[in-house]
Amino acid sequence: MSTRQTNQSAKSAKRTPKGMYRISPDRIESYLKLFRAQEGLCFYCRQPMIMPWPGLYRLPVPDKQITREHLIVRKKRPKGARSPIVGACKACNHDRGGRPSWAAYLCSKQDWGPK
């Protein structure tokens, strides 16, 4: 792979090397609340998630690692409004992407609900 991307993030005071990602202690605290509330299971697929430690990791993010999932996608939120957040594995979070209805996506993952 030889594609070079310029990383011009304004908040890059603490540089994250190319091909790596950083998980801050604050982020872990937020993950942990969700992880505990959901007994370590993904909101969508109900499979066990990986709970990381703070630190610097090599990309890609593991499919089973916990992510913060905004139930209400940005486009559907009134300006400035916050979305409820749940813990979802990276695979589900990416798979749902910008689908507007979290409930419809949940049903599709769990094989119940209206078809």
Q: Considering beta carbons, is residue 50 or 72 the nearer one to Zn ion?
A: 50
Q: How far is the CB of 90 from Zn ion (least distance, A)?
A: 8
Q: How far is the CB of 92 from Zn ion (least distance, A)?
A: 3
Q: Considering beta carbons, is residue 61 or 89 the nearer one to Zn ion?
A: 89
In three-state form (DSSP H/G/I as H, E/B as E, the rest C), the secondary structure along the chain is CCCCCCCCCCCCCCCCCCCEEEECHHHHHHHHHHHHHCCCECCCCCCECECCCCEEEECCCCCCEEEEEECCCHHHCCCCCCCCEEEEEHHHHHHHCCCCCHHHHHHHHHCCCCC
Q: Considering beta carbons, is residue 34 or 92 the nearer one to Zn ion?
A: 92
Q: How far is the CB of 81 from Zn ion (least distance, A)?
A: 25
Instruction: List interacting residues with Zn ion (CB under 5 A).
Output: 42, 44-45, 89, 92
